[in-house]
Structures are given as structure tokens and as C-alpha cells.
Amino acid sequence: MSAAREIAANAVDNIEELLTDMFDGDYADNEVSLGVLLSGKEEIQVQLKVTRSPAEFIDTDYSNWDESVKRIDVKAGG
């Protein structure tokens, strides 16, 4: 597995906690650093961000919209 994939894999361990904290705290968004990649002397921070603020949404072109949009159950306290 490449270093980039190893860092990105940390998203799986963080996504539910990010969402829970966002809803419990009534925040518009929440984010966490998943790690840092090194390219020569340059550092690249890999981040996971969740947002419910449409102004913060990034443009994207999902190859399969139906597979990219899912409902979640929101429960206070996880």
C-alpha cells in the first residue's frame, strides 16, 4: 500500500466520530488531520472534513451519484 493510501485509510477510523461531534456540538463542520506526507522537503497534510454548510461544499463530479449519496441516522451522543 502506498503511503498516501495508508494515510487516507485513517478516514475510516475517524468519520463517525467527526459526524457525532459535529451534530452533538451543533457545528456547521468538523475536520481532522489524518497525517502528513513528505515529498522532498515539502509537507502535505491530508485532511478529512465534514460539512453541512452548502457554501463549504466543493465542486465534484461523482461518477455514480446514487452510490455517492447515502442517508445516515443521527443520534445524539453517538
Residue pLDDT, tens place only, 12-66: 999 999 999 999 999 999 999 999 999 999 999 999 999 999 999 998 888 888 8
Q: φ and ψ at 32, to 5 degrees? A: -150, 150
CA-to-CA distance for 19 and 55, rounded, in angstroms? 18
Residue that has been written with the C-alpha cell 509537507 in this structure: 43
Task: Quote the CA–CA distance of 58 and 13 in Å, as a whole number.
Answer: 23
pTM: 0.81
Answer whether residue 76 shows pLDDT above 90: no
N-terminal to C-terminal alpha carbon distance within the chain: 31
Query: What is residue 78's predicted lDDT score, i.e. its pLDDT?
Result: 52
Half-sphere exposure of 35 (CA within 13 A, CB side): 13
